[in-house]
Amino acid sequence: MSETTPQTTGDRVDGRTPDQLREVRITRGWLDHAEGSALIEFGRTRVLCAASFTEGVPRWKKGSGSGWVTAEYAMLPRATDSRSPRESVKGKIGGRTHEISRLIGRSLRAVIDLDALGENTIQLDCDVLQADGGTRTAAITGAYVALADAISWGRRHTSLSATATVLTDSVSAISVGIVDGRPLLDLEYREDVAADTDMNVVVTGTGGLVEVQGTAEGVPFSRAELTTLLDLAESGCASLAQIQRDVLAEQR
């Protein structure tokens, strides 16, 4: 497990400074069955990320010599402050769930060489056990760790090459936003609902941008504000990349 050392000298609702992450904890191998897994916590937000490695690919990729990585995101009904009905009971998946699942899949595919993966599929499941803002960014950050372990598993247990570079970079994500006119890093739920602008940024370990999704919740934002938010997000993702490196460096 790897975690940040939180300082609580700022004036945000939980005592953080504007550019400070919440305490981040990553517990590798939380599940016994999955080829890769991580329980990731951004403060009170807890997401269980499982990576399932299977040989073979979906029908539309058969014979391509190339692999596939996909993701599903979901939330337990009582992850939130008041209970939400299950999507399985409603019989359909909501727009938000679809949107985040697609975002996670795209983010991971940005750092994997599908040709090097060969005709293998890795399915990521990111289940939010408890939500307090930033669930999609925690999911991406934790899913990368589970993905890395599933690839190691594949190298040991399948015909996947032990030496080819399958992961071309690491990837992490963080939310930023403007609350009461102030740019803040890693919004918790109370900050998120109060934000005028909310942005999720996905960044690789070497600093490349993978996704920038900024939304004005109330008044539109300016180019200058956008610049400040991107600076904050890049700095936050650099910290997350270091935490990922640390936790993956541990012997298992």
Q: Are 66 and 160 in contact (CB under 8 A)?
A: no
Q: Tell whether residue 154 is among the known ligand binding residues.
A: no
Task: Out of 92, 162, 180, 252, name the contact with a second copy by CB under 8 A.
Answer: 92
- Is 110 a binding residue for a second copy by CB under 8 A? The answer is yes
In the chain, the amino acid numbered 197 is T
To which residue do tokens 């307090």 refer? 132
**Residue written as tokens 């960014």?**
137
Sequential DSSP letters for 4-71? ------S-STTS--TT-PPPEEEEET--SSSSEEEEEEETTEEEEEEEEEEES--GGGTTSS--EEEE
- Other beta carbons within 10 angstroms of residue 227's beta carbon come to 11
**Tokens in use for 214?**
């900024």
- Is 95 near a second copy (CB under 8 A)? yes
Which residues in the 145-204 window bind a second copy by CB under 8 A? 169, 199, 203-204
Considering only the stretches 3-11, 124-132, 133-141, 179-187, report the one whose residues sit in contact with a second copy under the rule CB under 8 A.
124-132
Shortest Cβ 48–a second copy spacing (Å): 7
Residue 129 binding a second copy, by CB under 8 A: yes
What does the buried/exposed string (b/e) look like for 63-97 if buried means 16 or more CB atoms within 10 Å of the residue's CB?
A: eeeebbbbbbbbbbeebeeeeeeeeeeeeeeeeee
Angle at the Cα of 27 from the Cα atoms of 143 and 238, rounded to 5 degrees: 60
Which of 81, 163, 251, 252 is close enough to bind a second copy by CB under 8 A? 81
Closest of 190, 182, 84 to residue 133, by C-alpha: 190
- For position 64 contacting a second copy by CB under 8 A, the verdict is no
Per CB under 8 A, does 252 bind a second copy? no
> Considering CB under 8 A, how many residues would be counted as binding a second copy?
65
To 5 degrees, how large is the angle CA 154–CA 155–CA 157? Answer: 60
Contact between 116 and a second copy (CB under 8 A)? no
12 carries a ligand binding annotation: no
Nearer to a second copy, 132 or 186 (CB): 132
Residue 68 interacts with a second copy (CB under 8 A): yes or no: no
Q: Does 228 bind a second copy (CB under 8 A)?
A: no
The binding site consists of: 96, 134-136
The binding site for phosphate consists of: 96, 134-136
**Interface positions with a second copy (CB under 8 A):** 31-34, 37, 44, 48, 50, 52, 54, 72, 74, 76-83, 86-99, 101-102, 106, 110, 123, 125, 127, 129-130, 132, 169, 199, 203-204, 208-216, 219-223, 226, 230, 234
